[in-house]
Chain A
Amino acid sequence: MGQQVLNGIFLGSIYALFALGYTLVFGVLDMLNLAHAAVFMLSAFVALTLVLRLHLGIAFALPLAVLSAALFGLILERVAFRPLRDRTDSNVAGLISSLAMATVFEAVALEVFGPNIARFPIGTLPDRQIAVLGGVVSVLKLGIIALALAIFLALTFLVRRTRLGRDLRAVAESPRAARIVGVDVDRVVAAAFAISSALGGAAGVLFALAFNAVSPDMGRSVELKGLSVIIVGGMGSMPGAVVAGFLLGVTEVFVVAYLGASWRDALSFAGLFVILVLRPRGLFGAASLREA
């Protein structure tokens, strides 16, 4: 039982990281970035390449991969989102252009790496197990949980205490008003994308490490679940994304244990439906949502 909870927390921390990135962009721009999962996948490949080709240790490969993810995010913003900012149907258009970019990213990954699952070479990852809370957990998983928690804390600090965080919140509230009081909206939006993609990229590398599998379609499973998580948590709400991410991770592990793996994916959609019908703003979402 404790074992399951630990597995759930571990899975949940990856979902939470991914969802945080999603919700950050939605909160600031009111647009859904469907290329988020593609960045998730690409940064995993970057990490793999760094380890395989340049023989870097994972301690270096991980931050570098996350940086590359931030770079992808900047490219995304510049190419696919900025030109659409002034359009009236910008959310749908943003959806579609991010979809286009996701397709391009996936095509690049397919071409360069091929469709098969690639694995990290033996010895990249620590594989010691230790006993915690009545279960046995690998050091790797514990490390991932710790890393995720550190990232959450850093992000909270960023949003609450720094100037950038304040600017982000201002733009999320109203880009026009923010511009009037002197916030450089373009720069802030670019920063939001960079951070968001860095989060998605971190989730991707950690996911790849945890399951030791990297393939161009690894974003598939997380993509839709990420959407469910941010809706259940409340679109634009960062604590919501974290809580809902952990919730999904833990409940998924229990569903697989007691109902079987084939029902696992249905869980996130069931949760999604329930929330959308009963409380569309999600667990932590603001009542006055721009969706209405």
Chain B
Amino acid sequence: MGQWLIDLYSSYESTLGYIGLNSLFALSVYATLCCGQLALGNAGFAAVGAYAAALVTMHAHGPFSLALFAGALAPAILSVPLGLPVLRLKGVFLAIATLGFGEVVRISLVNWDYVNGAQGIVAIPKLTSLWLIYLVLAAAIFVLYRLRGSKWGFALEAIREDEPAARTLGIATHRYKLAMLVLAAVLSGTAGALEAHFTFMVAPSGFTFLRAVDMLVFAVVGGTLTCFGPVLGAAFLTLLPELLREVSPLVGLEPGPLRLLANGLILLAIILFLPEGLASLPQRLVARREGGSG
């Protein structure tokens, strides 16, 4: 019995770990989305965090806590000179600029011999445990949850609704947006650092702009009205490939394309029919039932 549990755990540990990590990544995108900024440089922040942590562990032989701290701090520091010019941009321009930032980080890492260029750093000891991931996730959710209903939260919502109007109310929009960008960097950097010590390696190929887009998709599918939406989206979309792998022989499609197809169709269905994400589904169903019978 014990052995069966152990076997079960080891086969699902990776998935459970990734649910937690992807939730953190999704929350990092949510952090800027909740003040209306579509910032997609989080793969770049994750890369910086992951590499900083890996370097502390592998080259400086520092303790894990220091690695995690570096993983959180390094992207945070980087996010400030990025944010100052870039947060002036709106909408798709901000998205493209931050995507570009992520790519610049990736290309720089590919060209940097100290970190082995495209091959990355390998044989990183597995210091991240599941409970650590979920502890960090719980902390992140706590912080973001407490924002709602607080002065900070109202300011963010005002900026999201109508930024010029928020400014006329005296809200220092630039400061709030920058603060949320720094938070996003901390979240994705920490998650990157945790991931590096969970999957034994870091390489630039793991931080392409597709990764940033994935994070956005987690957040959108789950719903960006509350901080629980992104977690739900991340959990759902991380579990989906596992489910699909079982189904793929039945449907007659290869697992790879099937997963992509499912992701695309789900995203399309959500954006067309359920724009507030899966988290809004209970509300929608209740409203429909009341509307139907009323």
Contact = CB atoms under 8 A, between A and B. Distances in A.
B35 to A, nearest CB: 14
A219 to B, nearest CB: 12
B127 interface: no
Contact of A104 (B111, B209, B217, B268): B268
Interface in B210-233: 213, 216-217, 220
Contacts of B107: 262-263, 265-266, 269
Interface stretch (A116-124, A158-166, A223-231): A223-231
Contact of A111 (B90, B217, B257): B257
Given A265-B107, A269-B103, A269-B104, A103 B267 contact: yes
Interface residues of B, number: 40
A231 B96 CA distance: 9
Interface in A61-109: 79-80, 83-84, 87, 91-93, 95-97, 99-104, 106-108
A292 B256 CA distance: 40
A210 B107 CA distance: 25
Contacts, number: 120
A291 B93 contact: yes
A96 B101 CA distance: 20
B202 to A, nearest CB: 18
A106 B258 CA distance: 11
Contacts of A254: none
A95 B99 CA distance: 13
A146 interface: no
B261 A99 contact: no
A280 interface: yes
B206 interface: no
Counting chain A CB atoms within 10 Å of each CB, the highest count among B101, B111, B260, B267 belongs to B260
Counting chain B CB atoms within 10 Å of each CB, the highest count among A101, A107, A280 belongs to A107
A277 to B, nearest CB: 5
A276 B89 contact: yes
B260 A93 contact: no
Contact of A266 (B108, B254, B265): B108
B249 to A, nearest CB: 14
B93 A280 contact: yes
A48 B124 CA distance: 44
B292 interface: no
A115 interface: yes
B257 A110 contact: yes
Given A99-B213, A269-B103, A231 B260 contact: no
Nearest to A95: B92
Nearest to B93: A291
A290 to B, nearest CB: 8
Interface in A263-292: 263, 265-266, 269-270, 272-273, 276-277, 280, 291-292
Contacts of B110: 262
B103 A92 contact: no
Given A104-B260, A291-B91, 17 more contacts: A32-B92, A93-B275, A96-B271, A97-B271, A104-B261, A106-B260, A106-B264, A107-B264, A224-B209, A228-B100, A263-B111, A269-B107, A272-B100, A273-B100, A291-B89, A291-B92, A291-B93
Interface of B: 38, 85-86, 89-93, 95-97, 99-101, 103-104, 107-108, 110-111, 209, 213, 216-217, 220, 253-254, 256-258, 260-261, 263-265, 267-268, 271-272, 275
Interface of A: 32, 79-80, 83-84, 87, 91-93, 95-97, 99-104, 106-108, 110-111, 115, 224, 227-228, 231, 235, 262-263, 265-266, 269-270, 272-273, 276-277, 280, 291-292
30 contacts: A32-B92, A80-B268, A80-B272, A84-B271, A92-B38, A92-B92, A93-B275, A95-B95, A96-B216, A96-B217, A97-B271, A99-B217, A100-B265, A100-B267, A102-B264, A104-B261, A104-B265, A106-B260, A108-B261, A110-B254, A111-B254, A111-B258, A266-B107, A269-B100, A269-B101, A270-B104, A272-B96, A273-B97, A273-B104, A291-B89
